[in-house]
Amino acid sequence: MLVELRRKLGEVVCTGKAFAGLESTNLTGAVFSPDGHWVAYAAREAGGRNAVYVEPFPQTGAKYQISNSSEDGHHPLWSANGKQLIYVPGPGTRLVRVPATTSPTFSFGAPSVIEEPFFNTAGSVERGFDLMPDGDRIVSLKGFSAAGGDASAEEIRVVLNWFQELKGK
């Protein structure tokens, strides 16, 4: 069950009430728009596929289906400026970018496919990618084979002070 969240002085507070009375066997990936007035989420449809929706927050009864019915849409993500909504349309290494407007009302345009090599995960698992603040680059976890041959191992490497090291060379 997706839980209603409220923003209060920079912290998120759970009210414990169900958001929109949603019923789904696979409800995942709810994200607020940058202005805090819209929630994008994926929900399992009766036919067994996920669909990506956007609803206003607080709720008004409006509901917009963003992914098309033939896709298995999941892992929605807003761009930092709220002008794009990105989601995974199913298995593979594709993403879909949908232009969006959140003010004064919500509207969205025609989707376009982004062919990106990224580590895709099932709709029931946490999103393994994110969008950089510039809205043009995607950062993703990447599966690899560890020295011991464990293909399921994951690693994130963070390099600090790399610019100072570069200057020194």
What confidence score (pLDDT) does residue 26 get? 60
Chain-centroid distance of CA 82 in Å reads: 12
128 contacts 88 by C-beta, under 8 angstroms: no
* 149 pLDDT more than 60: no
> Comparing 126 with 142, which gets the higher pLDDT?
126
* 3 pLDDT more than 70: no
53 contacts 40 by C-beta, under 8 angstroms: yes
Tell me the helix, strand and coil percentages in the chain, rounded to 5.
Answer: 5, 40, 55
* Per-domain residue ranges of the chain: 3-168
**pLDDT tens, residue by residue, 103-135:** 888 999 999 888 766 666 666 667 777 888 877
Q: Which residues, 6 or more positions from 31, have their beta carbon under 8 angstroms from its beta carbon?
A: 39, 40, 41, 76, 77, 78
> Comparing 167 with 137, which gets the higher pLDDT?
167
Q: Which residues, 6 or more positions from 105, have their beta carbon under 8 angstroms from its beta carbon?
A: none
Q: How far apart are CA 114 and CA 17, in angstroms?
A: 36
